Structure 1
Amino acid sequence: MISIVPISDVEPQAVEHLLDRAFGTGRHERTAYRIREGMPAIPRLSFAALEKDALVGTIQCWPILFDGDDGRDVPLVMVGPVAVEPARQRDGIGRDLMLSALNAAVATGDAAALMLIGDPEYYGRFFGFTADRTTEWRVPGPVEQRRLLAMGDSVPNGGGMLGPRIAALA
């Protein structure tokens, strides 16, 4: 039986080891890490999946900022990474973690502007993320533009750069 708990209930080193197994030790070079560089994850939106006290999955969400070309700054929540123990992928653990994070975002008022980098066929179909408003967004590194996804009423449209939000969410 899988239980979803706050990520703060799990040793940070265990989370890091799971991320290494799921994404490889070179994961820190990915664009997603540059977007949220220096920001702590948002505890109320970050979860771990446990099975018999063993860590089998995590999701973390991060405070980031859209720095619009028109001068507006829009706070966003970056969803992910969703990491699942490689032997347990396709067991629905990632879906359960996503639903936990999205439900928490709605409950805490953090769901107005969510974004992630991921497969549009999956995240669109199951969770409602689209690239409709992200076509002019820029990021500090390489990304397939179609994988830059967002959802929420406050997601900005138009050109701008994504980066860390200096004043992190409490």
Structure 2
Amino acid sequence: MIQLVPIEMVEPATVEHLLDRAFGQDRHTRTAYRLRAGTRALSGLSLALLDGRALIGSIQCWPIRFDGDDGSSRPLVLVGPVAIAPERQQEGFGRRLMEASLAAAGETLPLTLIGDPEYYGRFFGFSAAATAGWRLPGPVDRHRLLARGRDIPIGTGSLGPRVDVIAA
């Protein structure tokens, strides 16, 4: 039986093993990891899918911030990674995790992610419309930097970890 649970119910090492299998052990060099450095995944938005006792998928959401060139600072949530065990991909589990996490976030929470614009735009309402002036702590394909929700910052500025939510 497939069960959706808070990610805190799964051993962190098991989640890390799934992420290595889904994205490779070099995943820590990616820009998204720099964005969330020093923070912990947000409870309530970060979820796991279990098949019996086996972890088959996870989604994590992270506290980040936008520091505008105008002096403003706005909290955001970085969505991802969404990881599915390679042998269980194409079964709709990634979509199920996204839907559950987005439902928990509600319509107003400002969210961002780095991902396929056709998929995340079509199914989840993410867009690159507001992100053209955003700077990240590493390389990113501009068309893959997406956002959704109310109060998405518009303009130029930098994304980084939200240090008021410290990792345990």
Q: Indicate the TM-score class for this superposition, using the shorter chain for normalisation.
A: over 0.9
How far does the alpha carbon of each residue in 1:32-86 deviate from its partner, in whole angstroms, 9 at most, with x for none? 0001111111011100001121100000000000010111001000001000001
Confirm whether residue 152 of structure 1 aligns to residue 149 of structure 2: yes
Count of residues in Structure 1 that have an aligned counterpart in Structure 2: 166
Q: In the alignment, residue 96 of structure 1 is paired with which amino acid?
A: R
1:32-111 → structure 2 map (5 Å cutoff)? 32-106=32-106, 111=108
Partners of 2:66 and 2:38 in 1: how far apart? Answer: 16
Question: What residue number does 2:115 align with?
Answer: 118
- Give the distance between the partners of 2:96 and 2:89, measured in 1 at CA: 12
Is residue 128 from structure 1 mapped to residue 125 from structure 2 by the alignment? Answer: yes
Encode CA deviations 1:83-102: one digit per residue, 9 max, x unaligned. 00011111100000001110
Equivalent residue number for residue 162 of structure 1: 159
Shift of 1:29: 0.4
Relative to the length of structure 1, the TM-score reads 0.95
Determine the structure 2 residue equivalent to 1:6: 6
| Letter paired with 1:147 | R
| Deviations, residues 97-142 of structure 1 (Å, cap 9, x unaligned) | 0011101111xx8x42100000000000000000000011110001
1:27 paired residue number: 27
CA distance in 2, matches of 1:91, 1:155: 32
Return the alpha-carbon distance in structure 2 between the equivalents of residues 153 and 42 of structure 1.
Answer: 19
4+ runs deviating over 2 angstroms: none
2 CA distance for matches of 1:100 and 1:112?
Answer: 14
Shift of 1:27: 0.4
**What's the TM-score, normalizing by structure 2?**
0.96
2:98 partner SS? helix
1:139 counterpart residue number: 136
Distance in 2, Cα, partners of 1:74 & 1:26: 30
User: How far apart, in 2, do the equivalents of 1:62 and 1:112 lie?
Assistant: 12
Shift of 1:2: 1.8
Unaligned runs of 5+ in 1: none
Please tell me the residue identity of whatever aligns with 1:77: V
2:103 match: secondary structure = helix
Q: 2:47 & 2:144 partners in 1: Cα distance?
A: 23
